Structure 1
Amino acid sequence: MSIIREPIIVRPHDSLLHAIKIMTMEYVPKLVVADENEVPLGSLSQKDVLNFIYKMGERDLDNVYVSEVMRKDIITVNNSIEPLEASQIMIEKKAPLLVVTTDSGKLLGMIIKSDLAQYYASLVKGIHKVNEYMSKNPISVNKNSTLDEAIKILLDKNVGRLIVEDEGKILGTITTTDLLYLAPVLKIKDIKIKVKEVMTPTIVVMDENEDLSYAAKLMANRKVKGIPIVSANGEVKGIVTTTDIVKALADEKVRKYLLELKLYTSTF
């Protein structure tokens, strides 16, 4: 399967509000910023948007240019890149996405963590357990915390989701995707909306001894980027995310597994 997806493009002179609408309508967490000649200039993620809104004061989103918010430190790769190499680059460079270009520098596509997680889910089985790669001390927020408090935690801890809890019980998660829908009102610092009013109720949890491939499949099927891990009595044990799947894909054990799989199937 291909790990390269069609790029969703915005221009540097587009408004931030326009970019937010594309992210929410197309349900994509990251955009490529390119000029009229399809030369990539930067990237824009949900976290970049939230970080800017949190610091921007009272400016209207339709008066902010994408060029003010985008990241310029993009990593470009060619379309012959292998999934394991892509995962290695993403982990080593802490890259939110890889921009795929032609030899002449024109935009061809992009690779995000969800694409690599889906690749792992489709080919790898029985190599890793969830507990080998999950984050064991997930960051949580109380259901009665305000959105302002939740955003501050997300940005300070540089994470894409928080577990919403009440007296040790998981109620749901709040993610950058959830918050993006509220972008126009997030600049109001004294807004009294509580986390419990906008969180996504948790309908998928997982045991730490499950196959990591199963976690990757669930993420792909449910279109989520993280799954809380709980014990049999409901205690929170951790969280597994697409970032964790990408780390697992870069493991040497996966390289050997895929090589053996290729050799075995090519004999038939």
Structure 2
Amino acid sequence: MDTIRDIMVKTVIVVDPSDSLLYVKDQMIKHGISRIVITGEDARPLGIITEKDLVKFLLTEDTDRGIDEIPVGEAMSKSLITIISDTAIPEVARIMLDRDISSLIVVDKKEKLRGIATKTDLCLYYGSKCIGIHQIHEFMTADPVMVEPSKSIFFVASIMTEHNISRVIVGDGGLMGIVTLSDVAMVGPALKPRKLVSERRYVFLKDFLMPSRNIMLLTARDVMTSNPISVHRDADLADGARLMIRHGISGLPVINSSNQIVGILTKSDAARAVASLGNGR
């Protein structure tokens, strides 16, 4: 029986509760990750913060503090769900789906941090172990949320928070791009505009600097990834899982034979496929 020990990440990036949200955001970008564990001095996990937590907090926090002034301890999720390393992989997937979370912290008998399991790990597992079992249309999310390219980044962030999703497809009659939580988190300071404008600071966006007075004009077009990779609804789900892993992305627009957008395939969908497997696999 395959267990989470076989696929979990054993080297976990951690921060202190007093570290700033700016530091956390920079660590996420530096290491190419979407969540960070917060630990105490005894190596026991105290909380976790994801890109989704970061964006949601910045949208609702109503003071004039910049993200360099807000400790991560204020924004982290403290209700941790932990597992032990011999938990079966399909069971891990079911726990994530039942709890509507994208990661589980792995601890030892003393509750000390030993690793982290994410939907990325489940996606990698499905792509390598489950070739030829399912087609994409069996597990894709139909009728994906779409926005027009002219919609403001604040509107896009609000839509993601409202629908509890991590990406939206950008289009105006066709597929133009995709905006993810990573894109929004990268311009996290822009979600605290009063502080930026008052201090006349600059925002680093897609390899160029934008004056703070212009941040209210940011649109989906400005931050989206253009011409995203798409997959056909009848393709092997394992192929879609491997595509996400290979390109370091968490969602693929799904098209039909007429090149119409009919859904989106995400790592959550791959996790649902893993959860459907027998425990003996």
CA distance in 1, matches of 2:95, 2:57: 26
Question: Given the alignment of the two structures, is residue 244 of structure 1 paired with residue 248 of structure 2, yes or no?
Answer: no
Long gaps (5+) in structure 2: 195-214
1:39 to 35, 44, 67: 44
Question: Given the alignment of the two structures, is residue 64 of structure 1 paired with residue 70 of structure 2, yes or no?
Answer: yes
- Using the size of structure 1 for normalisation, the TM-score is 0.92
RMSD: 1.4
Equivalence for 1:152? 158
Secondary structure at the counterpart of residue 184 of structure 1 = helix
Equivalence for 1:208? 233
Q: In the alignment, residue 175 of structure 1 is paired with which amino acid?
A: T
CA distance in 1, matches of 2:26, 2:42: 23
Report how many residues are paired: 255
Secondary structure at the counterpart of residue 216 of structure 2 = coil
Structure 1 outlier segments of 4+, above 2 Å: none
Judge which range, 240-249 or 48-57, deviates more. 48-57
CA distance in 2, matches of 1:198, 1:28: 18
Relative contact order, CA 8 A, sep 6+: which one is greater? 2
Secondary structure at the counterpart of residue 238 of structure 1 = strand
2:149 to 135, 143, 152: 143
Question: Given the alignment of the two structures, is residue 94 of structure 1 paired with residue 119 of structure 2, yes or no?
Answer: no
Matches within 5 A, 1:107-256: 107-166=113-172, 168-188=173-193, 191-251=216-276, 254-255=277-278
Judge which range, 95-104 or 55-64, deviates more. 55-64
CA distance in 1, matches of 2:89, 2:25: 29
Q: In the alignment, residue 8 of structure 2 is paired with which amino acid?
A: I
Shift of 1:201: 1.3
Q: For each residue in 1:145-195, what CA deviation from the matched residue of structure 2 results, as whole angstroms up to 9, or x when unmatched?
A: 1101101100001000000001x2101100000111111122227711111
Secondary structure at the counterpart of residue 104 of structure 2 = strand
2:29 to 16, 24, 42: 24
Q: Is the 1:205–1:227 Cα contact (8 Å) retained in structure 2?
A: yes
Long gaps (5+) in structure 1: 260-268
Q: Is the 1:24–1:180 Cα contact (8 Å) retained in structure 2?
A: no
Equivalence for 1:262? none
